[in-house]
Amino acid sequence: MTSATTPTASDQVAGIAALAAVAAAPMLLAGCGLLGEEDGGDGRPPIPPLPPALVITSITVSATTDNPATITIDGVADADGAADTTGSATFVLDGAAGTVRAADAASGLASATHRFAIAASAGMESAAAICDVVFDPAPEQAIALGGAAIPRIRHLFQRTCFGTRIADLLRWTNVPYATMVDRLLTEADPAATAPAPGWIDEPVMTWQEVDALSPADRDALDKRIGDRLTAIYAWWWHELIAGRQPLLERMALFWSNHFVTNAGEVFKPQATWRYLDTLRRHALGNFRDLLRAIARDAAMVSFLDSNSNVKGKPNENFARELLELFTLGEGQGYTEQDVVEVARCFTGWGLSPRCTFEFHGTKHDTTAKTVLGATIVNPVDQGMQDGEDVLARVLALPRSAVFICEKLWDEFVGGPRDATVIGAWATTFRSSGYEIKPLMAAVLTSLEFTAAASRGAMVRSPVELHAGLWRSLELEPKDYGGLHWLAGQEDQALLNPPNVKGWVGGTTWIDAKTLLERRKHLSWMGWDLHNDGRQRVPQRLDAVLTDMLFAAPPYDAAALAVPPTHWDPRGEYIRRLLMDPALHVR
């Protein structure tokens, strides 16, 4: 059941104006099912469309007055018909009892309106208004009637969910912004995804088993590994574009550029899958838990050579990245001696022969260490606790929270950092025990994020660009593996950052090479949307394509206004949109 509530209506004549305002702002509702999903052409089985998230069986319309009044809604009086300050009536759709209205056949493709006449009278005074409840309104109607909420919703979704769908606008237009952010964070569920590949639990071959293979079998193994890595990339691309948790996936993408590994270098699909699973499970969870999981992650251990970190010969790779890239920031509050001491604490944190995490007590340095001013020493049989103590020591420093907040500023706000704002975020982060959701709520509701001047002020990364386009157009690409290759040509291959520092981002996403690659690939996309003389783009989106695709006004509006001359006018217009420079900002 849903409720459409009128603003306060006085029993004075002035109340007419208040009630009349209701008619100009209909309640917009829609079944929020996902797009129909199809086989991506990469061997991934199709996933059935979700049922609508909102099934309406009745409508309750309520009116409130300042003073006692007799209130009727479509001629139905409140409970006792006496003067009161509130009144409501429930209309059952195709029900067997109550005030019945015909249910709508609309399923996201057709619009239907329920109109209610609301009247309030007290003595000689009266007020009246019409209230519309619109099911599945046309996209242009949703945007036109959404008012100031539309730019806010679009900005939030383009920054945090890759792109905006009409269903997003319909769901959130009448919801306060802070409530929308809270609901998006609360509803994030890493389990709501496509099934995992069936091979992820297969044991990884030991180096002895690989060494014993014939050249032909080794080539076959390399191809199988490559195919499985491509399947992981395609799986994640599917979740970015058509998945149910875009905010969670966006945060997992952020963490993949923070806790950097490289799938091509690790070259063990099972380890890469578990690394991605770790990022997704903790993406909006607790940073302390995420950090502890990453320290044990097989892909991370392999990538940073922690398996060779043994007593007497400490390998500093993980220790240095822990302090420099994961928690404190380069040169922030630690010394080179701290790096050595941290490395000693993590000696023995390695891998089993089949590439799963394993602590090797015989390789651990059991002597005392001094890390960031604190002495760390544990019983010989509890050597792994040394590393745990390092993680706790680092997170006890206020700088760790500040560093993560600086990274989030760069990722979601952009521009010169505001130390005061970041400090307030860091206080929220630390006081919550390093919970990520309260921090993200603070970021996404901050004036720095929501300001109108922030809209369209950041450059889209290749992943954001392509995922956002397909998502906003309510389509899936035919080949997710091919899409991964395209993004790689634009310098962002998922799970394969260029080095331990990850992608720099910002304006570095566009240079002479990548701009040409982007334009070439968008041109290909324009033709891909036209198959056998039929446009794949839903025709209902034609009137709102610029609203859905652009975070800022089109750069070359004059070119878009020229009447199409091609035999495929819709296709020509879409291809012009894809060539507009404004498409590259968020």
pLDDT for 412-452, tens place per residue? 999 999 999 999 999 999 999 999 999 999 999 999 999 99
Note the pTM of the prediction, 2 decimals: 0.85
Q: Taking the mean position of all CA atoms in its chain, how far away is CA 428?
A: 21
- Kindly report which listed range (13-22, 65-74, 139-148, 345-354) carries the lowest average pLDDT score: 13-22
Q: Distance (Å, rounded) from C-alpha 302 to C-alpha 298?
A: 6
Q: What is residue 104's predicted lDDT score, i.e. its pLDDT?
A: 65
**Which pair of tokens denotes residue 456?**
């369209």
Nearby residues of 557 by Cβ (< 8 Å), 6 or more positions away: none
Question: Which of 123-127, 151-155, 199-203, 314-318 shows the lowest per-residue confidence on average (mean pLDDT)?
Answer: 123-127
DSSP 26: P
Of the listed ranges 86-100, 317-331, 338-352, 379-393, the least confidently predicted one is: 86-100
Of the listed ranges 32-46, 256-270, 374-388, the one predicted with least confidence: 32-46
Range with top average pLDDT, 83-87, 172-176, 465-469: 465-469
Does pLDDT of 407 surpass 80? Answer: yes
∠ CA 457-463-466, rounded to 5°: 90
pLDDT at 379: 96
What number of other Cβ atoms are within 10 A of residue 195's Cβ? 9
pLDDT for 98 equals 66
Residue 146's pLDDT is what?
84
345 CB-contact burial (10 Å; exposed 0-12 / middle 13-18 / buried 19+): buried
Whether the predicted pLDDT of 181 surpasses 50: yes
Q: Are 54 and 39 in contact (CB under 8 A)?
A: no
Identify whether the C-beta of residue 512 lies closer than 8 Å to the C-beta of residue 134: no
pLDDT score of 61: 83
- In one-letter notation, the amino acid at residue 173 is T
The per-residue DSSP string of 86-109 comes to EEEEEEEET-SSSEEEPPP--SSS
Tokens at 58, concatenated: 């009745």
Range from 75-89, 175-189, 228-242 carrying the lowest mean pLDDT: 75-89
Strands 112-122 and 99-101: unpaired
| Interatomic CA distance for residues 498 and 503, integer angstroms | 7
Across residues 204-210, what is the average pLDDT?
A: 97
Question: How confident is residue 110, by pLDDT bands cut at 50, 70 and 90?
Answer: low
Is the pLDDT at 106 greater than 50? The verdict is no
pLDDT, residue 60, reads 83
pLDDT at 4: 37
Question: Residue 257: what pLDDT?
Answer: 98
For residues 424 and 407, give the distance between their C-alpha atoms in angstroms, rounded to a whole number. 14
Distances (CA, A) of 518 to 463, 466, 472, 580: 11, 10, 18, 11
pLDDT at 133: 80
Q: What is the mean pLDDT of residues 87-102?
A: 78
Partners of 60 in the beta sheet? 3, 90
As a whole number, mean pLDDT of residues 241-250 equals: 96
Q: What is the DSSP string of 267-316?
A: --HHHHHHHHHHHHHHTTSBHHHHHHHHHT-HHHHHHTTGGG-BTTB---
- The residue ranges of DSSP E strands in 110-242, in sequence order, are 112-122, 125-135
101 versus 118: the higher-pLDDT residue is 118
- Are the CB atoms for 251 and 281 separated by under 8 Å? no
Question: What pLDDT is stored for residue 223 in this prediction?
Answer: 97
Judge contact between 301 and 278, C-beta under 8 A.
Answer: no
Other Cβ atoms within 10 Å of 194 Cβ, number: 17
- Inform me whether the pLDDT recorded for 470 exceeds 70: yes
Q: What is the DSSP letter of 357?
A: E
- Torsion, Cα 181 508 461 273, to 10 degrees, reads -100
Does residue 203 register a pLDDT over 90?
Answer: yes
Over range 253-281, report the average pLDDT.
98
**Lowest mean pLDDT across 8-22, 141-155, 420-434:** 8-22
Between CA 82 and CA 293 the distance in angstroms is: 63
Task: Determine the pLDDT at residue 41.
Answer: 41
Task: Give yes or no for a contact between 45 and 154, defined as CB atoms under 8 angstroms apart.
Answer: no
Please give the pLDDT value at position 532: 66
| 80: Cβ contacts below 8 Å, ≥ 6 apart | none
- Burial status of residue 56 (CB atoms within 10 A of its CB: 0-12, 13-18, 19 or more): middle
* Least confident segment among 159-173, 273-287, 529-543: 529-543
Please give the pLDDT value at position 53: 46
The residue ranges of every structural domain in the chain are: 2-137, 214-285, 304-396, 401-454, 462-494+503-584
Q: Which of these ranges, 34-38, 155-159, 258-262, 560-564, has the smallest mean pLDDT? A: 34-38
CA distances to 10, 84, 366, 548 from 361, in Å: 77, 76, 9, 56
Q: What are phi and psi of 2, to 5 degrees?
A: -130, 160
Confidence of residue 99 (pLDDT cuts 50, 70, 90): confident
The per-residue pLDDT for 96 is 65
**Residues sharing a CB contact under 8 Å with residue 564, sequence separation 6 or more, in sequence order:** 570, 572, 573
In this prediction, residue 363 carries a pLDDT of 97
Spatial separation of the C-alpha atoms in residues 574 and 580, rounded to whole Å: 10
Evaluate if residue 544 carries a pLDDT over 50. yes
Q: Which residue has the tokens 């829609």?
A: 30
Which pLDDT does position 535 carry in this prediction? 85
Which of residues 421 and 90 earns the better pLDDT score? 421
Q: What's the Cα-to-Cα distance from 479 to each of 42, 191, 361, 493, rounded to whole Å?
A: 6, 24, 47, 15
Q: Could you tell me which of 188, 200, 181 has the C-alpha nearest to residue 412?
A: 181
- State yes or no: pLDDT of 150 exceeds 80: yes
What's the burial of 94, exposed, middle or buried (CB within 10 Å: 0-12/13-18/19+)? exposed
- Spatial CB neighbours of 154, under 8 Å, sequence gap ≥ 6: 164, 169, 455, 547, 548, 551
> Given pLDDT bands bounded at 50, 70 and 90, which one contains residue 2?
very low
Mean pLDDT of the chain: 88
